[in-house]
Structure 1
Amino acid sequence: MSRIVLGAAALITLGSTASVQAADLPYGSRAPYTVNQPLNIYSWAGPYLGGNIGWDWGSVDNNPTKPSGFVGGVQAGYNWQTGPWVFGIEGDIEATGASDTFAPWKFSNPWFGTVRGRAGYALNNILFYGTAGLAFGELKGETFGLTETHTNAGWTVGLGAEFGLAQNWSAKLEYLYVDLNDSNFTITGAQNGYRFGLARAGVNYHF
């Protein structure tokens, strides 16, 4: 009988030791992020900075010129994300080669910028968004050796898609419609402003 009691006590002791050791094992630990981690946890939240290049084309109010040309610049912004919904603000400044000459008049748009809100829906590492806000830029007129420039404010609206390439890098395609309000140009004797479409591609680094 004593042997049975001693054997049972030994089994209980071994079982208790094994339970204590099992309780010390790390359960549910999360592996660190690696490049092989699936992009279905891609986060759009936070600040970003990037560059872009594209083409714009448009027309000058009360003038037959239709400036067009290459565009390039930089953008910066900040996103907030709640579930699949992404909201943010973005600003950009662009240098452009858009110009056109008709008869004695030449009009060009040397630069412009925008400050816009963005709202979109993320499908993992793909973000579809709409954007709208303030636009501003310079319209330059030339005729018979005379030059006149005006910096006008206006508005812009557009659509885009952004693609997460890695946790810190993304690429985007975007279309904007920009309306720079009219100003009174003495050299033309008319109210002239510039309205144009812009298609561009860009990359962003997310901090």
Structure 2
Amino acid sequence: MKKQILAMTVLAAATAATAASAADLPRNNYYSQPAQGTYYNWAGWYAGAVVGYQWGDVPGTNTKPSGILGGLTGGYNWQSGQFVFGGETDLQISGADDTFAPYKFSNPWFGTLRGRAGMAWNNVLIYLTGGIAYGGLKGESGALSETKTHIGWTLGTGVEFGLAQQWSAKIEYLYADLSNRTYSITGVGNGLETSMIRVGVNYRF
């Protein structure tokens, strides 16, 4: 899992570097007058939607839940020159599940509450994000099933592109670790370690 995190972080960094180079190309004239070295205004409230794919594993079993996810997100940005920082929250449903006899584990929903900080080059924002993760984990074995809510942490990176002053699109990688809780069907502590790639759009108010 650590190798996956490193690989995805390197990939995100490479994407970010490409985006930063692209930001130096001439832009359409619908952006506002430059202010403190940047054209695009990232400050303010926003809300949007994300879709993506999730994969991971449940420690203590051989199950590796994976599947499509989707949900809603919202947050607020402050901007000082090129530096952009703020907070974001999201809530998603997920189809991630896996069966490895005698167990089946699934992650039907999860959410995060995170800080974000990054640098903007005109309408390209490269950022790091991290904070609290929480979600449901359902374990099944034969006719027995248990569902518990887990709390943990998340860390990730992403690139967001301003399409027009009120619209932006992003691609983001997150790693989340939902801490162990004891399940009677396994007799040990089980949690969820999961990675996800998400794409989304935001509307700025």
TM-score, scaled to structure 2:
0.83
Instruction: Name the CA distance, whole Å, in 1 between partners of 2:85 and 2:171.
Output: 17
Q: Which residue of 2 aligns with 1:37?
A: 30
RMSD: 1.1
Q: Which residue of 1 aligns with 2:201?
A: 203
Structure 2 residue aligned with 1:46, among 44, 53, 59?
44
What letter corresponds to residue 156 of structure 1 in structure 2?
Answer: T
Are residues 1:60 and 2:53 paired? no
- Aligned pair count reads 173
What letter corresponds to residue 72 of structure 1 in structure 2?
Answer: G
Instruction: Name the CA distance, whole Å, in 2 between partners of 1:154 and 1:173.
Output: 23
TM-score, scaled to structure 1:
0.82
Q: Which residue of 2 aligns with 1:73?
A: 71
- After superposition, what is the alpha-carbon deviation per residue over 1:146-172, rounded to whole angstroms, capped at 9, x for unaligned? 110110100000000000000000000
Are residues 1:95 and 2:74 paired? no
Q: Which residue of 2 aligns with 1:189?
A: 187
Q: Which residue of 1 aligns with 2:35?
A: none
Instruction: Name the CA distance, whole Å, in 1 between partners of 2:134 and 2:86.
Output: 20
Spell out the pairing of 1:143-154 with structure 2 (5 A cutoff): 143-154=141-152
Following TM superposition, by how much is the alpha carbon of 1:37 offset from its aligned partner in structure 2, in angstroms? 2.2
Instruction: Name the CA distance, whole Å, in 1 between partners of 2:190 and 2:129.
Output: 26
What letter corresponds to residue 99 of structure 2 in structure 1?
Answer: T
Following TM superposition, by how much is the alpha carbon of 1:104 offset from its aligned partner in structure 2, in angstroms? 1.6
What letter corresponds to residue 64 of structure 2 in structure 1?
Answer: K
Q: Which residue of 2 aligns with 1:136?
A: 134
Instruction: Name the CA distance, whole Å, in 2 between partners of 1:174 and 1:48.
Output: 16
Following TM superposition, by how much is the alpha carbon of 1:144 offset from its aligned partner in structure 2, in angstroms? 1.0
- After superposition, what is the alpha-carbon deviation per residue over 1:40-82, rounded to whole angstroms, capped at 9, x for unaligned? 5210000000000000000001000000000000000000000
Give every structure 1 segment of 4 or more consecutive aligned residues whose post-TM-superposition deviation is greater than 3 Å.
none
Are residues 1:122 and 2:115 paired? no
The percent of aligned pairs where both chains have the same amino acid is 57
Q: Which residue of 1 aligns with 2:107?
A: 109
Q: Which residue of 1 aligns with 2:6?
A: none
- After superposition, what is the alpha-carbon deviation per residue over 1:158-206, rounded to whole angstroms, capped at 9, x for unaligned? 0000000000000000000000000000011111000000101000000
What letter corresponds to residue 61 of structure 2 in structure 1?
Answer: N
Following TM superposition, by how much is the alpha carbon of 1:99 offset from its aligned partner in structure 2, in angstroms? 0.1
Instruction: Name the CA distance, whole Å, in 1 between partners of 2:91 and 2:127.
Output: 20
User: Secondary structure at 1:42's aligned position in 2?
Assistant: coil
Contact map agreement 2:176 2:195 (CA 8 A) in 1: yes
Instruction: Name the CA distance, whole Å, in 2 between partners of 1:203 and 1:144.
Output: 41
Structure 2: 5+ residue stretches without partners: 1-27, 33-37
Structure 1: 5+ residue stretches without partners: 1-34
